[in-house]
Amino acid sequence: MKNITDLKTVRLRDDLNAVVILDQTRLPAEESYLELSSAEEIWDAIYKLKVRGAPAIGVAAAYGIYVCSRQIQAASFDEFYTEFHRIKEYLAGARPTAVNLVAFLERMEKVVLDNVSATVSTLVELLHDEAITIREEDAAACRRIGEYALSLLRPGMGILTHCNAGHLAVSEYGTALAPVYLGEERGYGFKVFADETRPLLQGARLTAYELHRAGVDVTLICDNMASSVMQKGWVQAVVVGCDRVAMNGDVANKIGTSGVAVLARHYGIPFYVLGPTSTIDKQCPDGKSIIIEERAPEEVSEMWYTHRMAPDDIHIYNPAFDVTPHGLITAIITEKGIAYPPFEESLKL
Ligand code: MRU
């Protein structure tokens, strides 16, 4: 397998006082990087999916708030915290569904609140260390998720995935794609089917790109072809990522995921959700409580086309995520292990 870690999803460049991200809106045509130094630039990059994927936006925000903290002019803790909190709330509002964004920002805020007697320069140093720890923990979690998930897979399997929960969506390696990469390193010879994932094409532009670049056997299909490849017996497991996991095991992930879960149940194919425990929302009892992001109608009617493909003024509904009910999920795999139903019990561990 060719290494993919030369692609740097999110990096901290202290020397530039910037968060450096791989601009995912330019892929697959171009691997280009953006330097983000202001809260507005970081918010915009998250909102426009230049950096995307639940853990990656959380890491970008953690690095981002550290970079912004270095620029805060404050003579006292109170002055520092007031501005810090303003930026934190602003960044947390960039996207509503992935819990990692707010969870990682809250970890950063806790560092400040736990050190009310510290000087501003000490606070900034502590924020630096916390942001680095968040990123390292995310990378380590992905590896462990990959190992646990690989224990459920067999060489030569056909694996279907939806959206992009790979290296580009996290600090390193991916969640849903971590077992694929580990399996590839160990000669498992998986055959991956990547749903293109309308409307923003994370499957076509990102999953197909990163797997193909790594030398993994990947076949791109349109979202409406998943049933057909399952019916032919080409798929033995489905692996997807997650943006928020409720305590009853309901899972929000990219729009279309719940449809894939329904198909998997129909064809008797195991449906695995992979994500770090940072994606489990302990405050969220079930999927009904998850806020689903709605995005611009033009993403459906115009984006990627040379001219508009829908009548002017037509009603367009463009939810970015959906909730897969826990009853359709075979297992939720985190860095702590494999959780099986009933998830009320297994996710508490
Ligand atoms: O809108 P996106 O591209 O940020 O959506 C990403 C997904 O739905 C991923 O499956 C999820 O964030 C898990 S990433 C490891």
Looking at the domain assignment, is residue 147 inside a domain? Answer: no
Q: What is the pLDDT of residues 322-338, one digit of tens each?
A: 999 999 999 999 999 99
Q: Which of 203, 202, 146, 205 is nearest to 172 (CA)?
A: 146
| Radius of gyration of the chain measured on its C-alpha atoms | 20
In this structure, what DSSP letter does residue 166 have?
B
34 and 166 in a common domain: no
Provide the whole-model pTM: 0.97
Considering the domain architecture, whether residues 228 and 340 belong to the same structural domain is answered as yes
Q: Which are the contacts of 295, defined by CB distance < 8 A and separation ≥ 6? A: 318, 319, 320
In sequence order, which residues have a C-beta less than 8 Å from that of residue 171 and are 6 or more positions away? 9, 10, 55, 56, 59, 135, 136, 138, 139, 142
Q: How far apart are CA 349 and CA 346, in angstroms?
A: 6
Mutation test residue for ligand 1: of 47, 50, 52, the one with most atoms within 8 Å of CB: 52
Which CATH number fits the domain that encloses residue 81?
1.20.120.420
Token reading at 283: 């405050």
State which ligand 1 atom lies nearest to the alpha carbon of 320: 1
- C-beta 175 within 6 A of ligand 1: yes
Which structural domain range is residue 317 located in? 153-346
CA distance 241 to 256: 12
Residues 190 and 287 in one domain: yes
Q: Is 98 in the pocket of ligand 1 (CB under 6 A)?
A: yes
Give 112's pLDDT tier (boundaries 50, 70, 90): very high
At which of 142, 166, 194 does a domain end? 142
Residues 45 and 175 placed together within one structural domain of the fold: no
- Number of compact structural domains in the chain: 2
Going by C-beta distance under 8 Å and a sequence separation of 6 or more, which residues neighbour residue 181? 1, 4, 146, 167, 173, 174, 214, 216
> Cα torsion at 109, 166, 163, 220 (round to 10°)?
170
Span 260-292, pLDDT tens digits: 999 999 999 999 999 999 999 999 999 999 999
CA of 130 to the centre of ligand 1 (A): 23
Closest protein CA for atom 8 of ligand 1: 254
Residue type, 335: E
pLDDT in tens, 62-103: 999 999 999 999 999 999 999 999 999 999 999 999 999 999
Whether residues 128 and 201 share a domain: the answer is: no
- Quick check: 349 pLDDT over 80? no
pLDDT interval class at 3 (50, 70, 90)? confident
Q: Which atom of ligand 1 is found nearest the CA of 52?
A: 4
Same domain as 28, residue 136: yes
For a substitution probing ligand 1, which of 209, 223, 253, 294 has the most ligand atoms within 8 Å of its CB? 253
193 phi, psi to nearest 5 deg: -105, 125
The confidence score (pLDDT) of residue 153 equals 98
Cα 193 vs. chain centroid, distance in angstroms?
19
How far apart are the CA of 69 and the centre of ligand 1, in A?
A: 27
Would you say the CB of residue 167 lies under 6 angstroms from ligand 1? Answer: no
Say if residue 130 is in the same domain as residue 226. no
**What residues are annotated to the active site?**
243
Q: Is 242 in the pocket of ligand 1 (CB under 6 A)?
A: yes
**Cβ(273)–Cβ(253) below 8 Å:** yes
Residues 120, 197 within the same domain? no
